[in-house]
Amino acid sequence: MRTNRVQIVSNCQDDSFQHLRDLLQKNGYEVDEVCSKAETPGETTSIFFQQTQDDSLKERQGQVLALAHFPEANPNPVLCFDAQGIMLYANPAGKSLLQQWGGEIPDDFKQFCLTALTDVEKKTIEVHVAQDIYCFDIVPLAESGCIHVYGRDITHRKRAEFERETAIEFLRLVNESTSTPDLIHRAVEFFQKCSGCDAVGIRLREGEDYPYYETHGFPADFVRLETHLCARDIAGQLMRDEIGHPIIECMCGNVICERTDPSKPFFTTNGSFWSNCTTELLASTTDADRQTHTRNRCNGQGYESVALLPLRFGKEHLGLLQLNNHQRDTFSAPSIALWERLADYLAVALSQSYARDALHASEDTYRSLFDNMLNGFAYCQMLFDEQDNPCDFIYISVNSAFETLTGLKNVIGKRVSEVIPRLKTDDRELFNLYGKVAREGQPERIEVFVEAMQMWFSISVYCPLRGYFVAVFDVITERKKAEEALRQANARLQRFVDANIVGIIVANAEGAIIEANDYYLNL
């Protein structure tokens, strides 16, 4: 929109001047100045027209200038180059990116961008630049024959995605492991794959030492020489410090024993060690700086990038995770933080695995005792009716002696009413005893003849949990028969002695009479 302005110069003495001014104003003109005297004689009137820009146009011009400055102010890289790959423009962020590329766009990236111009199609690509990751939108301008490249740094997003996916994969691995050896084997393979390192090892405590439990990628001689960390004297005996603890050597010993100083750049606050160039580290530090005398075998094998991460659960030192790579600059502070978190997950899993292994060992021990005991064993659940009277019970677990002693097979999961149908009716005393122990919890012991099985039993009953009982028993039928035969023999002998017409006495070693028949007593 434009504003029309006029300037009138006139020496007219009549109303024509006023009429002219009114006419101009009615037609949208602004009268800038009116002069009623002219230097020239005669009645003359001169009108000078001029055009000026209004505020809205100025505002639009300001917006255009601001847009022109936008690429320069953009914190993300903006590049422009022609069909021959010649750089036409780069904003400050783009120039910084070019410096990371060595001053020129990499050929493979340039060729990818040129295909967008050939295909007249916008393309997107993710590119690693040093430790960063960029996503580039490639926009071809066919009419001008040039390519605009708009980049954005997606390092943090990609790192977060990687860490999340890595953690999920590792936790799945932990959940799928079946034992400590299986867990360690899977963990070593996982860390080698995800870190890209040439060699990975895990040390675990064994007695007072921390030898390698499993390694991938290390030379056999290296593992043989480095497997033990405890210092030994010339006699092969463990060397100990002033308070009796074994001396655990090298940087691994620092990490395991928490001899770390987070103020030094190669230690972390979590107690890990890492270096992207062990050659420079050894050249620029002393044993005192490194907190210990180091063997330097990692550097001797050409490993420039080394990370040592503690495996701790609470105050318990379980071991150490070791990542070695021949290439320099393998690690970064964020990647070390990730490996530390995963090492903590591994330590928790190890502690749980140790507990599980101990439980399995305990179960195996008790199962062995259980299966090899001479007594029969039956763990049962008592069933009660609505009046809380025992009405049946279910066999939950029995040992092999149960089957041997009773002759009953495949009873687990079955009711006693199925296995021994007449037990409840013919042996009510025993059945009620089981019910009493299961309900009240007081242990009982009984010797009883089980009519339903025609066998004598010596039974100890106790309650491990309300509503359940355990019966530990032995079949004493033969003993009972022997006792009855002995009783009958004694009775016969007693009748013989009593009926004898000769006096008979039995005396002890001191001569005291302890037995006499009737004939002797009547003498």
pLDDT attached to residue 88: 86
Q: How far is CA 359 from CA 115, 207, 319, in A?
A: 63, 20, 21
Host domain of residue 423: 373-475
pLDDT digit of tens for each residue in the chain (523 aa)?
A: 455 555 555 555 445 456 556 655 666 666 655 555 444 444 444 544 455 555 565 565 555 555 556 777 888 999 988 888 888 888 999 999 988 888 888 889 988 988 888 888 899 999 988 878 999 999 998 888 888 999 999 988 988 898 899 889 999 998 899 889 999 999 999 999 999 999 999 999 999 999 999 999 999 999 999 999 988 888 888 888 888 888 888 999 999 999 999 999 999 999 999 999 999 999 999 888 887 888 899 999 999 999 999 999 988 999 999 999 999 999 999 999 999 999 999 999 999 888 888 887 777 777 777 777 889 999 999 999 988 899 999 999 999 899 999 999 999 999 999 999 999 999 999 999 999 999 999 999 999 999 999 999 999 999 999 999 999 999 998 888 888 888 887 777 777 666 656 666 667 778 787 777 666 667 6
Given 153, 168, 185, which residue is the final one in a domain? Answer: 153
**Is there a single domain that holds both residue 239 and residue 314?**
yes
pLDDT attached to residue 497: 61
In a domain, 22, yes or no: yes
pLDDT attached to residue 131: 79
Number of independent structural domains in the chain: 5
**Is there a single domain that holds both residue 188 and residue 297?**
yes
**Is there a single domain that holds both residue 166 and residue 144?**
no
- Per DSSP (E only), the strands in 425-464 are 444-450, 455-462
The whole-angstrom separation of Cα 8 and Cα 22 is: 12
- Rg of the chain over CA atoms, in angstroms? 50
In a domain, 469, yes or no: yes
State the pTM of this model.
0.58
**Is there a single domain that holds both residue 324 and residue 377?**
no
> CATH no. for residue 456?
3.30.450.20
In a domain, 58, yes or no: no
pLDDT attached to residue 40: 45
Given 153, 170, 191, which residue is the final one in a domain? Answer: 153
**Is there a single domain that holds both residue 232 and residue 307?**
yes
**Is there a single domain that holds both residue 30 and residue 82?**
no
pLDDT attached to residue 103: 84
**Is there a single domain that holds both residue 42 and residue 145?**
no
Closest CA to 311 of 262, 353, 371, 364: 353
**Is there a single domain that holds both residue 216 and residue 342?**
yes
**Is there a single domain that holds both residue 171 and residue 253?**
yes
In a domain, 316, yes or no: yes
Cβ(443)–Cβ(460) below 8 Å: yes
The whole-angstrom separation of Cα 273 and Cα 154 is: 28
pLDDT attached to residue 44: 46
Closest CA to 250 of 220, 210, 219: 210
**Is there a single domain that holds both residue 205 and residue 330?**
yes
Residues 6+ apart with CB under 8 A from 45: 8, 9, 10, 11, 12, 16, 17, 20
**Is there a single domain that holds both residue 409 and residue 492?**
no
The whole-angstrom separation of Cα 23 and Cα 12 is: 16
pLDDT attached to residue 31: 62
Cβ(162)–Cβ(144) below 8 Å: no
**Is there a single domain that holds both residue 320 and residue 272?**
yes
In a domain, 513, yes or no: yes
What is the end-to-end Cα distance of the chain in Å, rounded?
160
Backbone phi and psi for residue 286, each to the nearest 5 degrees, phi listed first: -110, 170
pLDDT attached to residue 359: 80
Give the HSE-up count for residue 298: Cα atoms under 13 Å, Cβ half-sphere.
29
In a domain, 62, yes or no: no
Neighbours of 389 (CB within 10 A): 10
Burial tier of 14 (Cβ tally within 10 Å: 0-12, 13-18, 19+): exposed
Closest CA to 171 of 261, 163, 280: 163
In a domain, 61, yes or no: no
The whole-angstrom separation of Cα 86 and Cα 381 is: 86
Composition of the chain by helix, strand, coil, percent to 5: 40, 30, 30
In a domain, 349, yes or no: yes
Query: Quick one: which H or E segment has residue 479?
Result: helix 477-499
Residues 6+ apart with CB under 8 A from 58: none
- What phi-psi label fits residue 145: left (phi over 0), alpha (psi between -120 and 50 degrees) or beta? left
Given 153, 173, 199, which residue is the final one in a domain? Answer: 153
Sheet order of strands, 305-313 included? 212-216, 199-204, 316-325, 305-313, 273-275
